[in-house]
Amino acid sequence: MAEVLFKGNKVHTSGKLPKVGARAPDFRLTRGDLVEVSLQDFAGKKKILSIVHSLDTGTCAASAKAFEARAAQLPGTVILTVSNDLPFAQKRFCEAENIHAVVPLSQMRDRKFGRDYGVEYLDGLLAGLLARAVVVIDENDKVLYTQQGPDTSQEPDYEAVLKAVRG
């Protein structure tokens, strides 16, 4: 269990982010077309997991837009935004915000992702949702970088993520 801040309030998560150098935990998440995907579906690519509470919040929306704006700078990399939002809501958000490069994925059928990545809130106002974090995974599913800010209501350090992807 980790203790993080959300808007200055202490909350607990289901664990800690995966260790750098470790094999990334596999997952089963749902795309907008309701097809389930796993880590294997992105084999051979670097992966940025942008983990958010909900795309229906200001900071999470800003994060998705910021990663969309940087996507062209990252050839061979897929950006996956993971939340508990239903795929229908994720799709509406992406269409409304003109987001095409970022792939939204939902935990709607399997909550294991949040526990395996140590980001499920266990208490507080957002209990059951995901704490904001970023995990960068290489082409062979090795964790290259993790980031969870001092307060998960803040946007990620995008430049540090880009640096991790570029090596």
Query: Which pLDDT value is given to residue 57?
Result: 87
Domains in the chain (CATH in brackets) are 2-166 (3.40.30.10)
Q: What is the pTM of this model?
A: 0.96
pLDDT tens for the chain, residues 1 to 167: 889 988 889 999 999 999 999 999 999 999 999 999 999 999 999 999 999 999 998 889 999 999 999 999 999 999 999 999 999 999 999 999 999 999 999 999 999 999 999 999 999 999 999 999 999 999 999 999 999 978 888 999 999 999 999 98
Among 26, 54, 51, residue whose Cα is nearest residue 161: 51
**Which residues are designated catalytic?**
60
Q: What is the pLDDT of residues 12-50, one digit of tens each?
A: 999 999 999 999 999 999 999 999 999 999 999 999 999
Beta strands (DSSP E) in 16-142 are 29-30, 36-37, 46-51, 77-83, 102-106, 133-137
